[in-house]
């Protein structure tokens, strides 16, 4: 069974700093998808970034980027120039491709505080 | 386009009662999945429905059940409530499958239904 582990329950950084959230996963699959979802306080969860395992290039979305290490089964999220609006719970998630098992497995989350 | 709508947003029940939560997906989305969020366990998958059929189920007791209607709206029911069922219940919809478009894992979440069991 696949598992997703986020080893940092809570983090705090100063505004404008760069922060990295860690995520490791365990799977025997060779093809899969990894995600970071963001849940702001009292607001809806939204997709931040997605990575296909067959792509070697790390995904980037504006200030958000990932460091995907397939052999190490590591998928960290880097937030550059952090902003107050980045304060949220961040969930790392894993999914196998279409037709295999469409459920997404989430880690327990990292609560990130951006301090002014 | 309207987002995912969950009702009710907040509710308080007592042990032994039952509760029904509702989720209206984004128009055109045929997959609806449910998650239980608690501080200790994070997000745990409950079940997923696609075209009125339950396709996947998480490791929850039979007290947790759900269904999906022909218009893709979904409900989940928890019977014989226990204190440990207190949680935020999230619903998410998605376009699922290569023939229906969308990218894998692109879930659109509702704001959740916060259940407190006393």
Q: Quick check: B41 and A35 CB within 8 A?
A: no
Find the mean pLDDT for residues A80-107: 85
Count of CB atoms within 10 A of residue A4's CB?
A: 24
Q: Quick check: A43 and B55 CB within 8 A?
A: no
Nearest to B105 among A95, A99, A107 (CB): A95
Query: pLDDT band at residue B1, thresholds of 50, 70 and 90?
Result: low
3-state secondary structure chain B: CCCCEEECCEEEECCCCCEEEEEECCCCCCEEEEEEEECCCEEEEEEEEECCEEEEECCCCCCEEEEECCCCCEEEEECCCCHHHCEEEEEEEECCCCCCCCCCCCCEECCCEEEEEC
Question: What CA–CA distance (Å, rounded) separates B7 from B109?
Answer: 13
Q: Quick check: A106 and B105 CB within 8 A?
A: no
pLDDT per position as a tens digit, B63-111: 999 999 999 999 999 999 999 999 999 999 987 654 444 566 688 999 9
User: Residue B50: what pLDDT?
Assistant: 86
Tokens standing for residue B25 = 């997906």
| Contact between B86 and B22 (Cβ < 8 Å) | no
Q: Looking at CA atoms only, how far is residue B15 from chain A in angstroms?
A: 26
Contact list in B for residue A93 (CB cut-off 8 A) is 105
Q: Looking at CA atoms only, how far is residue B42 from chain A in angstroms?
A: 4
Q: Quick check: A104 and B109 CB within 8 A?
A: no
Mean residue pLDDT of chain A comes to 91
Question: What CA–CA distance (Å, rounded) separates A38 from B35?
Answer: 15
CA angle (B60 as vertex; B55, B63 as ends), nearest 5: 100
Q: What is the dihedral of CA B54, B59, B64, B66, to 10 degrees?
A: -10
Contact list in A for residue B3 (CB cut-off 8 A) is 44
Length of chain A in terms of residues written: 116
Contact list in B for residue A105 (CB cut-off 8 A) is 45
pLDDT per position as a tens digit, A58-78: 999 999 999 999 999 999 999
DSSP strand pairing (A10-14 vs A110-115): parallel
| Contact between B4 and B108 (Cβ < 8 Å) | yes
Q: According to the per-residue pLDDT averaged within each range, which of A29-38, B55-64, B76-85 is highest? A: B76-85
Least confident of A19-33, B54-68, B88-102: B88-102
Residues 51-90 of chain A with CB under 8 A from chain B are: none
Q: Which residue has the tokens 């986020």?
A: A6
**Cβ contacts of B92 within 8 Å, gap of 6 or more:** A45, B4, B32, B33, B34, B35, B107, B108, B109, B110
């Amino acid at each position: 069974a696949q598992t997703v582990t986020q080893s940092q329950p809570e983090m705090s950084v100063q505004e404008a700093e760069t922060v990295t959230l860690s995520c490791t996963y365990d799977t025997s699959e060779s093809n899969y998808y990894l995600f970071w979802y963001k849940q702001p306080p009292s607001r809806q969860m939204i997709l931040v970034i997605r990575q296909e395992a067959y792509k070697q290039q790390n995904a980037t979305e504006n200030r958000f980027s990932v460091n995907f290490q397939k052999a190490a089964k590591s998928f960290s999220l880097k937030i550059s120039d952090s902003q107050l609006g980045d304060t949220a719970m961040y969930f790392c998630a894993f999914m196998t491709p279409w037709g295999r098992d469409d459920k997404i497995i989430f880690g327990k989350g990292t609560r990130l505080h951006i301090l002014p | 386009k309207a987002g995912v709508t969950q009702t009710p947003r907040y509710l308080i029940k007592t042990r032994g009662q039952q509760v029904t939560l509702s989720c209206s997906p984004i128009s055109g989305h045929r997959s609806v999945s449910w998650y239980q969020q608690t501080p200790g366990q994070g997000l745990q998958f409950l079940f997923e429905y696609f075209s009125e059929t339950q396709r996947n189920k998480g490791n929850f007791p039979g007290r947790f059940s759900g269904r999906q209607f022909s218009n893709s709206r979904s409900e989940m029911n928890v019977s014989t409530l226990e204190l440990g069922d207190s949680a935020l219940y999230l619903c998410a919809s998605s376009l699922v499958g290569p023939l229906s478009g969308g990218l894998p894992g692109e879930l659109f979440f509702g704001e959740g239904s916060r259940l407190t069991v006393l």
